[in-house]
A and B are shown apart, each in its own frame.
Chain A
């Protein structure tokens, strides 16, 4: 029997959404403070308007929709899928008011790109954007990467009944600790420790590169948000190429990889056994895919010198694989990569990082399981007819590769593939090159942010909306959105 929501359910959903909106408003105090202390008058008003508007929306929802029911899974899925739309729209207001965007849709695109940790940009004249707006752009990645709802869940108490629903709704299929709220808090703790480490590391490099201390700290925080939360925004139009710093790029690679690790793996390495890193199925898949895709990429771009091979090849591949989207390439350089190298990057983007990490894409675990299942099937055919054969994988502990696990992996594998290709077809419909259309579609869906030049303020409006949809679907991994749509459909069947 399918549960169909009633009026009380919607009242509960909007009530929770109101509380979460107030949580988002709390985050807006940070850029507001930056604007105040940096004496950026116009941006200060941009954030003041947005702060008041966000608080008003939150309060209005709380006043109009009382909490009529105990929050459950159904409410969680609705809240998660609707919440991301509401938050990205509210988050777009200060960006639009900055006058650095051609339209509100462009600002919404940027905001969704930030919250979904994608990194595709439509901002104009980025090099003259204020500190506070840059702080907000990068903060959206941190909030989105950690999980907007998860962020609020760490501080909210009323919605704990639906905690697991919120957690899974934001595309996290594994718990680290028995309690989801404790898991959320652990994820925040890990992130804050790395935030401190990352800020120290990046700011030291930038300070010794000639940047003043104040600016180097700001840039360091933003680069940390962008690398660890695998977002890929940067405060300059040239992205990482602005800094011309090998140590900075090396540090970014470290944080991109750390961000792509399963948070469970962080927990295991911190608290239990460091050896897990060598035995873990996701890590083995990561090393295997990185090695093979690097080989393919290098084969395509060979002959440009070792330093360029590392900077242009390996950096891009890691950026794609971890779903970060940082680039140190010049404008128009990526689309001139040989098709083989471009294909290697597309595959890296498609795969993504670990489950329960800040990355998008199909995820290492699922890709690994799909390939292992294919090998298992081949082996099975090679065995006597009545023999039973089950394979194991090691992910924190030895696990039998059950049919359910394989089915789940294939389900997500297919859903992602359909979305990748679907977006590519839409791009082709607008006259873009098939390979480049596929690249951009994969980049949007897998929340990567590398671009071959299609994403630009001048691109068709419909394509912008399609990419927004893809970023949203990809970040939430379909489930909560599909379930929410299913509940809405059930209303019409009543």
Chain B
């Protein structure tokens, strides 16, 4: 019975959720305050601990926001968190948006459901050929100038030595 009620609440929450992009939510925070919202985005960084639960940051359309949850198992299916050379899992996160969360004192979303809709992957950034060429060219220029400078120094010292 208890499980059925929870499922019913979850269904109602997701049915009533505003499927809006993060920019729209943050542009009109009063409109979405304490409303159920659904955001699609990339998980970035790592799962962070706090005294009362866990935090995940989601990047959506170049903007980030923190999702708070007390339930760590919600992230069990997550395999990649976005970072350099890592495309994090794309998730659909639903929860309640708080413009000024009274508990955490920030703009956040209290997470209720998280669904991985596209797994992330490791993206190795290869070195572009022009960079290798440029490094060689500047390396040669640098060494040539260094040689000229050292010769110039030696000449000056030699002249100075001759004078004294």
Contacts and interface: CB of A to CB of B under 8 A. Distances in A.
13 contacts: A42-B127, A45-B135, A56-B141, A59-B149, A63-B152, A127-B44, A128-B83, A237-B63, A241-B106, A242-B45, A244-B108, A308-B102, A331-B23
Contact of B63 (A45, A131, A331): A331
Contact of B106 (A124, A211, A244, A336): A244
Contacts of A329: 106-107
A313 to B, nearest CB: 10
B138 A312 contact: no
Contacts of A131: 84
A310 interface: yes
Point out which of A56, A129, A304, A310 has the most chain B C-beta atoms below 10 A from its C-beta.
Answer: A56
B41 to A, nearest CB: 11
A53 B103 CA distance: 52
B1 interface: no
B29 A336 contact: yes
Interface in B125-143: 125-128, 131-132, 134-135, 138-139, 141-142
Nearest to B156: A66
B57 interface: yes
Main secondary structure of the interface of B (DSSP, over half): mixed
Nearest to B55: A244
Contacts of B127: 41-42, 45
Interface in A232-253: 236-238, 241-246
Interface of B: 23, 26-27, 29, 44-50, 54-55, 57, 59, 62-66, 68, 82-86, 100-108, 125-128, 131-132, 134-135, 138-139, 141-142, 145-146, 148-149, 152
Contacts of B23: 331
Given A52-B138, A63-B148, A209 B50 contact: yes
A399 interface: no
Nearest to B141: A56
B64 A244 contact: no
Interface string A28-43: 0000000000001110
Given A49-B135, A56-B145, A328-B106, A304 B48 contact: no
Contacts of B86: 128
Nearest to B56: A244
B100 A242 contact: no
Given A48-B139, A63-B148, A331-B63, 14 more contacts: A41-B126, A45-B134, A55-B145, A59-B146, A63-B152, A125-B62, A127-B64, A128-B82, A236-B44, A236-B64, A237-B59, A246-B105, A309-B105, A333-B107
B16 to A, nearest CB: 23
Point out which of A41, A48, A62, A244 has the most chain B C-beta atoms below 10 A from its C-beta.
Answer: A244
A311 B103 CA distance: 11
Contacts of B49: 208-210
Contacts of A468: none
A237 B64 contact: yes
Contacts of A242: 45, 57, 64, 66
Interface string A184-220: 0000000000000000000000001111100100000
A305 interface: yes
Contacts of A330: 26, 29, 65, 106-107
Given A209-B48, A331-B26, A42 B126 contact: yes
Interface in A6-62: 40-42, 45-46, 48-49, 52-53, 55-56, 59-60, 62
Interface in A285-340: 304-312, 328-333, 336
A130 interface: yes
Contacts of A244: 48, 50, 55, 66, 68, 104, 106, 108
A97 interface: yes
Contacts of A243: 48
Contact of A236 (B45, B138, B139): B45
Contact of A312 (B55, B106, B125, B128): B106
B105 A312 contact: yes
Given A63-B148, A236-B64, A311-B105, A333 B47 contact: no
Contacts of B45: 127, 236, 242
Given A56-B138, A311-B105, A42 B128 contact: yes
Interface in A109-135: 124-125, 127-131
A59 B105 CA distance: 53
Contacts of A332: 26-27
A49 B137 CA distance: 9
A210 B55 CA distance: 10
Contacts of B152: 63
B46 A211 contact: yes
A246 B106 CA distance: 11
A67 B136 CA distance: 30
Contacts of B65: 238, 330
A337 to B, nearest CB: 12
Nearest to A304: B100
B55 A124 contact: no
Given A52-B139, A210-B49, A305-B100, A129 B106 contact: no
Interface in A155-202: none
A52 B135 contact: yes
Nearest to A46: B131
B19 to A, nearest CB: 19
A130 B142 contact: no
Contact of B132 (A45, A55, A124, A333): A45
